[in-house]
A and B are shown apart, each in its own frame.
Chain A
């Protein structure tokens, strides 16, 4: 059902929703950017529409709301393991179309691929998704090229518009909040990005031969292996296990999983000093091929959702989207 709300009703809606749900949305973290007096937009808890950054893509994706950067799997004492409690409340996660497609990729790995993940599942089943529109598409995204610009499987769509607000509710459970807020029914269609400044053509003829292309060495020579591209990516899902013992009680501790990056040293290291991808070129190839080839080979659709965050964040100005276009162009030649 579509709704129109006044600013007051929007505020009221958020207040009411916050009573039941934890609302996670892109928030401006002032001064927390990489450089002095720069900001960062990343996910935080909100209770009102004004706290949300609506007009700018978040620098870090929604991913951390479903897959915490650090997640304790269990606490242990000498012979017991106790699992920390899952989320106490249901949550609403505000995100854009590309990111909602990203959720499908996270689900693919964490709910399907082999085993179902207990920790992911217990957050995921308590999460609903609120679509944010892309009326003015972001500069670096290429969702139209990736076919991720029109996510329909949202629970709620919300758009503040000056003194008014619009919503499209597709989740029965949420309808009552609109009635309570006194919203009037209206026909609401989400603002989808219909055209991007960036356009990407996926190479069609990738194969194992593609692994030896010179282009990987070229980018490898530029890459510094910081892993930012992985950490901002809404589809990267890797983690590493860490066992921690407490300093004041060495018999107790915890096992955590922590986000990992295939670009950072140590990712392929195994005992005995063996490492499988030593050069940045190999690591860059591993990442790019996963996004546009290897994942699709396994699951039937490309991994990359075209959000463009990796291009935005790279301190060495490596453009993943340009790399893909170059691969496609090389095929033509």
Chain B
């Protein structure tokens, strides 16, 4: 009797069809790449029981357990259950594994749990977004990165959320040592200068990276109470037109960013090509086709930006065009 498997269903269930007939891989999503070390043991057990003993750490911070046999999928899904629960992944039917795989794991840099440069808890936001967007079959890639260094390569994502902070300056604590100015010049964008022995910040230039704050020896510069984010959109890798995401919102807040992401799901549902192979079409390409103005209308539906948020009204993406070269 031949193997009769619905590969569409299998893929939706977060398994992969491999090169080898009858053998696949099980994918585990880890929002923010942040997990209790106990889960590593569970992954190990599945791999050694059902796989070939090897695990790939995916580029999106999940696990891919190699060498599993398709007939074991049901058993593996049972074994995945404690991992799914521990990571609080939205699920439709307990014990049935992952309900979708289109919207990829939300990845994140290490964030302010550890990193001195990070402006927010990236794993926490990644989990929060995961809760809102998953499960969904649409092919969305989202990453959270703590600061403008963008170690999470957020700009290569449909939605890149880059941490910012609005430097708060208390001139009465400033000793004119210029550590902030030197730091900004050497590590960031040279947005600070001294006037009358006090610091003047070029607000047009400042990217809210927070370097000046970490350099200040007297706490004259501190972080804003409010957390700010830059939302870079529609970056991606790919065959036709790889491109870097461009700033849509600067000095934005978390809630509005989540709203825009959810709005984008509605937009994609409306405009995705009916002929998209496997129901996957890069959102950037959809926007290219439909027009940014139309996207903006959908994206900003119900969004009330804070007064300090800068909205880029007009975005053009560049990147490498392999699709129309020689035209």
**Given the complex of chains A and B, what is the CA–CA distance between A32 and B219 in angstroms?**
7
CB pair A244 B196 closer than 8 Å = yes
Chain B residues within an 8 Å CB radius of A42: 219
B81 is an interface residue with CB less than 8 A from chain A: no
Residues A259 and B175 in contact, CB atoms below 8 Å apart: yes
Q: Is the Cβ of A36 less than 8 Å from the Cβ of B165?
A: yes
CB atoms of A34 and B218 under 8 A apart: no
Please encode chain B, from 34 to 65, with 1 for each CB lying within 8 Å of some chain A CB and 0 for all others.
00000000000000000000000000000000
Does residue B119 face the partner (Cβ distance < 8 Å to A)? yes
Known A-B contacts A226-B215, A258-B197, A259-B218; A242 and B176 likewise in contact (beta carbons under 8 Å): yes
Contact B173 A69 (CB under 8 A): yes
Taking CB as reference atom, which chain B residue is nearest A34? B214
Tell me the A261-286 residues at the B interface (CB within 8 Å): 261, 264-265
**Which residues of chain B are within 8 angstroms of A256 by Cβ–Cβ distance?**
197
Whether A35 is near chain B, meaning CB under 8 Å from some CB there, is yes
Q: Which of A29, A31, A32, A264 contacts B177 (CB 8 A)?
A: A264
Instruction: Assign chain B's interface to a size class.
Output: 20 to 34
- Cβ of B213 under 8 Å from chain A: yes
Cβ contact within 8 Å between B165 and A69: no
Q: Knowing A42-B219, A69-B175, A261-B177 touch, does A34 contact B116 (C-beta < 8 A)?
A: yes
Residues of B contacting A247 in the complex (Cβ-Cβ under 8 angstroms)? 196
Per the bound structure, the CA–CA distance linking A256 and B121 in Å amounts to: 40
Residue of A nearest to B114 (CB): A35
The listed residue (B112, B176, B179, B216) touching A37 by CB distance below 8 A is: B112
Q: Is B70 an interface residue (CB 8 A)?
A: no
> In whole angstroms, how far apart are the Cα atoms of A226 and B177 in the complex?
8
Q: How far is the CB of A70 from chain B (nearest CB, A)?
A: 5
**How far in angstroms is the closest Cβ of chain B from A125?**
23
Which of A32, A35, A36, A259 is packed against the most chain B CB atoms within 10 Å?
A36
**Given A36-B118, A69-B173, does the pair A29, B219 have CB atoms closer than 8 Å?**
yes
Query: A245 at the A/B interface (Cβ < 8 Å)?
Result: yes
Check if A40 is an interface residue, CB within 8 A of chain B: yes
Beyond A227-B217, A247-B196, A258-B197, whether A31 also contacts B118 by CB under 8 A is no
B294 to A: closest C-beta gap in Å? 37
B320 interface residue (CB < 8 Å to A):
no
Q: Residue B225 at the A interface, CB < 8 A?
A: yes
Cβ-based interface call for B210 (8 A): yes
* A70 vs B196: C-alpha distance when bound (angstroms): 13
Verify if A60 is at the interface (C-beta below 8 Å from B): yes
Query: Chain B binding site: helix, strand, loop or mixed by DSSP?
Result: loop
B87 is an interface residue with CB less than 8 A from chain A: no
User: Does B172 sit within 8 A of A, measured CB to CB?
Assistant: yes
Report whether A227 and B197 are in contact in the complex, using a CB–CB cutoff of 8 Å.
no
CA distance A231 to B172 in the complex (A): 14
Name the CB-closest residue of A to B118. Answer: A36
* Contact B174 A70, beta carbon cutoff 8 Å: yes
Q: Is the CB of A35 within 8 A of B112?
A: yes
A228 close to chain B: CB less than 8 A: yes
Q: Mark A26-49, 1 if CB is under 8 A from B, else 0.
A: 000101111111001010000000
| Contact call B219/A36, Cβ cutoff below 8 A | no
Q: Which residues of A contact B172 (CB under 8 A)?
A: 68-70
Given A29-B219, A70-B171, A231-B218, A36:B210 Cβ within 8 A: yes
Q: Is A260 among interface residues, defined by CB-CB distance under 8 A? A: yes
What residues on A are CB-neighbors of B163 within 8 Å? 36
**Roughly how many angstroms separate A68 CA and B171 CA in the complex, as a whole number?**
12
Closest to A242 in B: B197
Q: Which residues of A contact B176 (CB under 8 A)?
A: 240, 242, 258
- Complex CA gap A70/B171 in Å reads 8
How far is it, in angstroms, between the C-alpha of A231 and the C-alpha of B215 when the chains are bound?
13
Within 8 A of B (CB), among A297-319: none
Q: Is the CB of B196 within 8 A of A245?
A: yes
Chain B positions within 8 Å of A227 at CB level: 175, 177, 179, 217
Residue among B175, B178, B217, B222 making CB contact with A32, cutoff 8 Å: B222
Q: Check if B219 sits within 8 Å of A60, measured CB to CB.
A: yes
Expressed in whole angstroms, the minimum distance between the Cβ of B182 and any Cβ of chain A is 9
| Interface flag for B223 (CB, 8 Å) | yes
**Which residues of B are interface residues toward A (Cβ below 8 A)?**
112, 116, 118-121, 146, 163, 165, 171-179, 196-197, 210, 213-219, 222-223, 225
On A, residues with C-beta under 8 Å from B are: 29, 31-37, 40, 42, 60, 68-70, 226-228, 231, 240, 242, 244-245, 247, 256, 258-261, 264-265
User: Can you list 23 contacts pairing A with B, beta carbon distance less than 8 Å?
Assistant: A29-B222, A31-B222, A32-B223, A34-B213, A34-B216, A34-B219, A35-B116, A36-B112, A36-B146, A60-B219, A69-B172, A69-B174, A226-B179, A226-B215, A244-B196, A244-B197, A247-B196, A258-B174, A258-B176, A259-B218, A261-B175, A264-B177, A265-B178
